[in-house]
Amino acid sequence: MHENIEHLRGKIILHETDITSAERILAIFEEIRPHAVFHLAAESFVPTSFREPSRVAHNNIIGTIKIFEAARRFDDELESVQIACSSEQYGLVDPKEVPVIEDLKKNPFRPRSVYGITKCASEQIAWLYHNSYGVPSIITRGFNHEGPRRGIQFVTSVIHRQIVEILNKKSNKIIIGNPNAIRDFTHVKDTVNAYILLSEKKKYGEPFNISSGKGITIADYIKLAKNIYNIQADVYVDPKRLRPSEVPLLIGNNEKIIKETGWKPVRSVIDIIKEGVKYFQDHPEQLGIEAH
């Protein structure tokens, strides 16, 4: 969404492309000759992968191959290619396993969506290109990272928008999907700092969880938001927002990245809520838009 980067107009150069276009990706790499690449391009909304599994698989997997092929061919000055993988790779986690660690012998992948499967594949692509061709792959498994400008279809934005509607006296209820899902929320700025730090420290070819190490149910997230703004509102579950196969629990162990880089999250869930609500207060044009 271009409006999300409007404040950077004149400070950055945009090269737009379909990441599955090998010709265009190669042309961009040849023109820029990057020192660092941050591969964040994907269909990242999990429900989309239930509705359009083939398109999501093609975009996320083939697109990643095209980017790593370009990195392999134009690697003279390339120092890092960070790939944003996902906690959804862990999928159906046993409560005894949390917080999950990067060791697949202790926490194997059990993805519950095509999206999760594409991220398992993407990580393997990054690993393969590092071990086979020496591409400087940086592999991150990001847990829920949230903040202002979060896509309106994601659960935190769904909640924040409805909080604003209630504060504006336009509604008296909050409608969500699964209230019992437990998630590990990290502020997007902390997550981006982790991407940069791992790239600068050249932690090649091995995965790192990026997480707060704490879990909260969606129901408790809403309760916390209601307390912050001193509002009363009933919470309703919309069956249409439920996934065909749910991931009940995701909490990440962040000890590895803390030990090897010194990174740690410095912002809280309360910061996420306050900044998210303020964003929609400042952008009323995004209220009342139906998320798909």
205 domain residue, yes or no: yes
252 domain residue, yes or no: yes
Structure tokens at 32: 């820029």
292 domain residue, yes or no: no
Give CA–CA dist 130/159, Å, rounded.
40
Per-residue pLDDT, 292 = 43
Domain of 82 in residue numbering reads as: 2-286
Residues in the chain with pLDDT values less than 70? 289-292
83 domain residue, yes or no: yes
138 domain residue, yes or no: yes
198 domain residue, yes or no: yes
Evaluate whether 22 touches 66 at the Cβ level (below 8 Å): yes
Q: Is the peptide bond before 111 cis (omega within 30 degrees of 0)?
A: no
H/E stretch holding 65:
helix 63-73
291 domain residue, yes or no: no
Q: First-to-last CA distance in the chain?
A: 15
Structure tokens at 285: 């044009």
| Total number of residues shown for the chain | 292
Per-residue pLDDT, 290 = 57
Helix and strand tally (H, E) in the chain?
10, 10
Burial 65-96 (b: 16+ CB within 10 A, else e): bbbbbbbbebbeebebbbbbbbbbbbbbbeee
How many domains does the chain fold into?
A: 1
Per-residue pLDDT, 78 = 97
Per-residue pLDDT, 182 = 97
- CATH number of the domain encompassing residue 207: 3.40.50.720
Q: Which residue has the tokens 């393969």?
A: 128
Give CA–CA dist 265/189, Å, rounded.
9
Give CA–CA dist 165/226, Å, rounded.
12
C-alpha angle 279/236/165, rounded to 5°?
30
Q: What are phi and psi of 192, to 5 degrees?
A: -65, -40
Structure tokens at 59: 């975009």
Evaluate whether 140 touches 85 at the Cβ level (below 8 Å): yes
Give CA–CA dist 251/255, Å, rounded.
12
Per-residue pLDDT, 287 = 81
